[in-house]
Amino acid sequence: MSRRIHLALHPYGVGGPGQHGLWKDPRVAKNASIDIGYYIQQAQAAEHALFDALFVVDSQFINATYPAHYLNRLEPLTLLSAVATHTKHIGLVGTASSTYNSPFNLARRFGSLDHISGGRAGWNVVTSFDTGTSRNFGLEEHLDYDTRYGRALEFVQVARGLWDSYEDDAFPADVESGRFLDPERLHALEHHGEHFDVAGPLNLSRSPQGQPVIFQAGVSEEGRNLAAQVAEGIYAPGGTLESAQEYYRDIKRRTAAAGRDPDHIKIFIHGGPVVAATDEAAQRRDEEIHEEDDDFERNLGLLGRSFGAHDFSVHDLDAPFPDVAHLAERGGRTGAARIIERARAENLTLRQVAQGLNGYKRSPFVGAPVTVADRIEEWFRAGTFDGINLAFRTNEELELFVDGVVPILQERGLFRTEYEADTLRGNLGLPIPENSNTVRRRAESDQDSSETQGLEAAS
């Protein structure tokens, strides 16, 4: 096959949204989310299995109702810089907000990770889901949707411009001539836009992959449009095979409409495989996991995240779902709209909505190794993803997938048997972006040459 599946690993730590009971598992260290050894072990296991990337999520607001992992976890870029020194091939993708960072500072931090890792950094661009984050950054309220996404687009454009501050041949470092830098290959950005004024240049050269890979995870109209314009990797919601197909087709179509090659954007769906010796054993384990995680109070708290961390415990649980749509206008508007629509259509109470938020939904990737491999192949050939962002509750469950499913995918020619490159771009099959200043300088040189030839011909 010309196309092959990409695999990424998303560590759970002690349990994020929906994994409310994970921290109680005796196989999970209670400090996993702040133990760098845990992340290094996860990354090395994924690298041994030839995965493309380790993916670390983040948020910058909590209250006591938030999932266990959210309450006490490491900052992504610090974490990934440590992991970089214990790995050689696996990509390192960190989440950072375009709403609550400055372009120069974040471009420098991701550029540093790209150098530390030898060209394996990726940035998952988010506009921040939690409305309470604003109060941690001196703002009275969260920015509205249009402003957040407009800022995100400009933020990425500025970061990319800063990453191009030095052309590839900017440092001759010629001892004999005493010439370390060619100043003509250093470029100030001088960006003046709607949201940012950034002079530049960045005091960091480009890495072996040119620039960090841009990831994004949007399902709203604004999110999908942003993805089509700037993303090189997408973290997609998954869902049913049909909904995953629709999302895949839509993103590829929008990417083409934006004048980009659809093959240069890789869509990863979320996958939580449950692998066991038999299909029946895996199905039993899948049901047990749901029972372990089914905590009503935590589900109620989780519901509040889509509505600006609203405290739903102040409402009558058995009354109709309250009118709180206005609370989502600056937060998780798309997800909140779906919750409200279902509650109204089915006349659900608040209790029923909270119970359904983490209701039992069997993953398509549950079964014996060959069953899981069959289902992954079916979805891949049906055009639902370019890769899967995998999450496992324990190291043992990761090993079951690596030892049982990965070899079957390799035998079928669906997954690599060795790394193709040393960079994240190379392993994802993405091109190295040419330095924009080099492109411009070459175009100006060609124009000057054409004009000179024209004058000579005229004379």
423: closest CA among 43, 53, 3? 53
Residue 85 CB: number of other CB atoms within 10 A? 10
Instruction: Work out the pLDDT band at 131, boundaries 50, 70, 90.
Output: confident
Domains of the chain, each with CATH number or no CATH = 6-280+363-428 (3.20.20.30), 296-357 (no CATH)
- Apex CA 276: angle with CA 272 and CA 279, to 5°? 95
Q: Percent of the chain beyond pLDDT 90? A: 73
- Asked if residue 128 has pLDDT above 90, the reply is no
pLDDT tens digits, 46-95? 999 999 999 999 999 998 888 999 999 999 999 999 999 999 999 999 99
Q: Which residue has the higher pLDDT, 135 or 102?
A: 102
Q: Is 220 annotated as a binding residue?
A: yes
Per-residue model confidence (pLDDT) at position 388: 98
Instruction: Work out the pLDDT band at 18, boundaries 50, 70, 90.
Output: confident
Residue 293 · residue 20 · CB < 8 Å: yes
- Asked if residue 448 has pLDDT above 90, the reply is no
Radius of gyration of the chain (CA): 24
What is the model's pTM? 0.92
Q: Tell me the pLDDT of the chain averaged across its residues.
A: 92
Q: Is 58 annotated as a binding residue?
A: yes
pLDDT tens digits, 400-425? 999 999 999 999 999 999 999 999 99
State how far Cα 282 lies from the chain centre: 28
Residue 413 · residue 1 · CB < 8 Å: yes
Three-state DSSP at 316 gives: coil
- Asked if residue 276 has pLDDT above 60, the reply is yes
Residue 267 CB: number of other CB atoms within 10 A? 23
Q: Is 149 annotated as a binding residue?
A: yes
Per-residue model confidence (pLDDT) at position 446: 75
